[in-house]
Chain A
Amino acid sequence: MARVYVSLKKSVADPQGQTIKKALNDIGYEGVAEVRVGKFFDISYDGDLENLERVLKEISEKVLANPVIEEFVIEESA
């Protein structure tokens, strides 16, 4: 019903992404300039659909992402 993507803010260094990027370069994919690692959450919702947008925003801010270092994108699907 919805997918929330959480990733580090651009201003925050991502050592995991840097390590993956370096490995990709090392095995011949020199064109890979940057890799950023993130995660996503698939959420199904049984509550009142009128509230869905608000609820998704709230749980993303409160729980799924740490606003100090992370940002999120919500993708709703039918």
Chain B
Amino acid sequence: MKFGVVVFPGSNCDYDSYRAVKDSLNQQVEFIWHGDEDTSGFDAIILPGGFSYGDYLRAGAIASFSRIIASVKKFAENGGFVMGICNGFQVLTESGLLPGTLMLNTNLRFICRDIYLRTENDSTAFSSELSGGEVIRLPVAHNQGNYFCSDDVYHRLNDYGGIIFRYCTPGGKTTEDANPNGSRDSIAGIMNERGNVMGMMPHPERYVEDLLGGTDGIKIFGSLVNANTGRADN
């Protein structure tokens, strides 16, 4: 399977993502420059964390008008897997590939710590290696991770199983305290209705080795590899 990792000016988790795919998953991976347009040959594209274009205007806003995102939109329309992590999630909502938006954390602080996530839907291309209700631990590092959407969008997300992860306690309960940023209904990660575009605020690429502090991130990337293998078999 071949992954592409988009590099925007200000991306800072591009190498983490690259390394996670290459060394922890043993899959092919290449960087894609934000000014490029070619997405041919890739099975999945990762929009990494960071502060693309300094997060000027709004987090992810300027990046959503970049050349590569125009291509990523076509790539997603053709069924390619797209995964946005942190700033990548913000780019996905700004570009309309995912509904809703990510607002300033309600405590107005940059939050950088481990959090727990409950798997709300384990039958997606991004979560098949997890089981329903499974709790994983990943780091978050963001200032704008407070997921917001209209009631209509919220109900639709619930209807099609679009909410993949919710913030929770280590025991798997969603509480106000376990929700670090004030996200609506503790939402931490969502996917589109077609099931090929996913965004999440926590950083799976940072927890792919014990040495880094955890390995729960592997399951998310591993799910994608499985999904791609499943496609090739069909």
A residues whose Cβ falls under 8 Å from a Cβ of B = 12-13, 15-16, 19, 63-64, 66, 68-69
Contacts and interface: CB of A to CB of B under 8 A. Distances in A.
B101 interface: yes
A16 B148 contact: no
Interface residues of B, number: 18
Contacts of B104: 15-16
A66 B108 contact: no
A19 B101 contact: no
A68 B149 contact: yes
Given A15-B106, A15-B108, A68 B148 contact: yes
Of residues B57, B65, B150, which shows the largest number of chain A Cβ atoms within 10 Å of its Cβ? B57
A26 to B, nearest CB: 16
B108 A69 contact: no
Interface string B78-114: 0000000000000001100000110111111000000
Given A15-B106, A16-B108, A19-B108, A66 B150 contact: no
B58 interface: yes
Contact of B148 (A19, A63, A64, A69): A69
B61 interface: yes
Given A15-B106, A16-B108, A66 B101 contact: yes
Contact of B101 (A13, A15, A16, A69): A69
A15 B104 CA distance: 8
A15 B106 CA distance: 6
B100 A68 contact: yes
